[in-house]
Amino acid sequence: MTRAVAASRRPSALARRLRHRFSRADLLERALTHSSGAPVARGRPVAAETYERLEFLGDRVLGLVLADLLYHRFPEESEGELARRHAKLAWRESLVEVAARLDLGLYVRMSEGESHAGSRRNAAILADCCEAVIGALYLDGGMKAARGFIERAWGPLIEADQAPPRDPKTTLQEWVQARGRRLPHYRVVERAGPSHAPEFTVELTISGEKPERARGRSKREAEQAAAASLLARLAGGDGRTARDDA
């Protein structure tokens, strides 16, 4: 049984835009199937027939390829600067921008109710499908196919920022404000070492996420390190958290 309606466009048309000929067309079809358009068993969508598992894989492939691209594109930048670039490029906003250029929402299979509710334009769904497409490319054509697409799609975004994004604390604050959450809270949980060379451990908390701890030679350094670590987790370690669930 299926509740799916035909997508506005055929997956084969998207494959041409991806510049890849799929030997397993079912992978791309699955990458474009929302839970509302999947077959149903025992009253629930069959998870293996939706984009969710491919999204998980695509998120990790995207993170690795972006890290490699940035490492070689900006050889003079520090780890922190590269991490800030990576976080911005892997966030939902960048994924949605890429998805919009592909008109990805028009290819997604979903129920009539979801379609009429505007879900083809839902940012979280577009971001998830974009990552699922990367996962499908990887499984069908290996890293070469996935990397080729990422280089073409993210290349303009990488070149658009000649300077690294702002410091982690500012970036994190903008992230939470854009989602209507409370401002980040930083708390010193430990101070160690001699007075002339102290080391601070700071715990960072924001609503809806696990706390993050980091150390530094000053409170500010520890706070920046905690913010950078949390941003990296939001962008790469758990992509779903960074973009919020659909």
C-alpha to C-alpha distance for 34 and 112, rounded to whole angstroms: 12
Task: Answer yes or no: is pLDDT of 157 > 70.
Answer: yes
* Across 43-57, 116-130, 208-222, least confident range: 43-57
> Which sequence positions are flagged as catalytic?
59, 131
The Cα angle at residue 162 between residues 157 and 165, in degrees rounded to 5 = 80
Q: Which amino acid is located at 60 in the chain?
A: R
Structural domains in the chain? 11-160 (1.10.1520.10), 168-243 (3.30.160.20)
Task: Answer yes or no: is pLDDT of 32 > 80.
Answer: yes
DSSP 182-239: PPPEEEEEEEES-TTS-EEEEEEE-TTS--EEEEESSHHHHHHHHHHHHHHIIIIITH
Per-residue pLDDT tens digits for 204-221: 999 989 999 998 878 988
Instruction: Report the pLDDT value the prediction gives residue 241, as an integer from 0 to 100.
Output: 40
What's the mean per-residue pLDDT of the chain?
86
The average pLDDT across 103-115 equals: 90
C-alpha to C-alpha distance for 51 and 37, rounded to whole angstroms: 10
Per-residue pLDDT tens digits for 217-234: 789 888 988 998 898 888
Instruction: Report the pLDDT value the prediction gives residue 47, as an integer from 0 to 100.
Output: 56
- Indicate the pLDDT class of residue 21, thresholds 50, 70 and 90: very high
